[in-house]
Every structure is written in C-alpha cells, then in structure tokens.
Amino acid sequence: MGRRALPAIDPAIDLSPYLYTFEQLQPWDPDSLFASGQPLEIEVGSGKGLFMQRAALQFPEHNFLGIEIARKYARFSAYRLAQQQLSNAVMVAGDAHRIFRELVPDASLAAIHIYFPDPWWKMRHKKRRVLNEWFAAQIERTLLPGGALHFWTDVQEYYDSGLDILAGATGLRGPLPVAEEPPDTEMDYRTHFERRTRLHGEPVYRSEFRKGT
C-alpha cells in the first residue's frame, strides 16, 4: 500500500521548535530539544507522525524523537506535534543509520520503535532495509538495560527475516508476544499503516524485544 497525499500545512504555524536536520543535532544533546530531561525513545521512519503524536500525549513522562528520511513527511509529522504544542516530541528529517552511527551514544535510549518499514521488495534492493545486521547491533548498543525494541510490519517475509537478524546479531530477549488491541476510536492505531492494514482485513506482525539488565 502506497502513501497517500499529505493534507495542507498551515503556514502560520512555526515548525522550527519541532523539526530538525542532522546538522542541528550536533553536538548530541537531547535535553536541549525538550522541555525537561526524561527517558528518550526514538521512532525510525515516522511517516505521517501518528505514533509520535499519540505516544507523546499518552506518555508525557518520556521524550520522543522521530526520524523520517523523506523531508515532506518529517515536516508534516512536525506539524502534527506543533498543532498539539507538545513539549516532549520532535522530528528529524534525516537518515536513521547516519544518526545512530554518528550521534546516538551507548545505552541512552529507553525504547526504539520501527513500524511498517519500507520492505524494498526487489531482491537487489533488500540491502536498503532499515533493519539489517548492522542496525540490529546499533539497536542493542544504544538501548538502556531493560530498554525495548518494537518491530511491527505487514510483510511476513520481512518480519521473519527481521527476527532472524535480531537473533543472530544481538543478545536481545525476544520476540515477546504483542497482543492486537481493539481500537477505541477511528484513529486509535499505532500508525496510519496499521490502520489501513487492519481495515483491509490483513495481518500485522508484531514483536517486542528487551535488552538484558
């Protein structure tokens, strides 16, 4: 399922407190991005930002940083955060691999979220998948003891290969079962992709992994 056109953004809303580039993250100082120093969670591939908005509202005691390589989607996600005037969530328009490789310190994240990543269907393109052996090691490196990885997809082949990669490249505990919860409202889903997938009656493959304490 492809992405639909984005709604218009109100140009009167200032996005600068919510939208950053890779260069603006240097030197790495998450406390400068948020109103208060709290445990940090990162979402890789935020799309239209539904998870970022809902998570920041539901868990005000945590900070959330979303990474989206497509600037127009990063900008729209930042717009959603700005509309809610959230002080515990920001977006970065950039490459997650580069951000993890060059900026994110060891044992610094409470959780990492990867929801419905691009499956890169063609065999020659699968090396572009965000969840590969190198990134799996980065996940383990950057999670705090007890920290969690949340990996969901609607592609069973990607799910199965992702679990194999995590088992072979990390010592994370999992996959732990994740129950499918019935939505309370029309938009009570983890992401827009989850909503569309479930409304089409198609399966979602969910897993959680934990770093040992």
44: nearest Cα among 104, 106, 1: 104
Active site residue 14: no
Expressed in angstroms, the distance from the first to the final Cα of the chain is 39
Closest CA to 206 of 67, 133, 109, 113: 113
Taking the C-alpha atoms of residue 115 and residue 136, their distance in angstroms, rounded to an integer, is 15
At 149 the three-state DSSP class reads strand
> From CA 94, how far away is CA 18, in angstroms rounded?
14
Q: Please tell me which residue in 31, 118, 160, 164 is annotated as part of the active site.
A: 118
By the 8 A CB rule, do 110 and 144 touch?
A: yes
Between CA 181 and CA 198 the distance in angstroms is 11
CA distance 67 to 90: 9
Q: Which sequence positions are flagged as catalytic?
A: 118
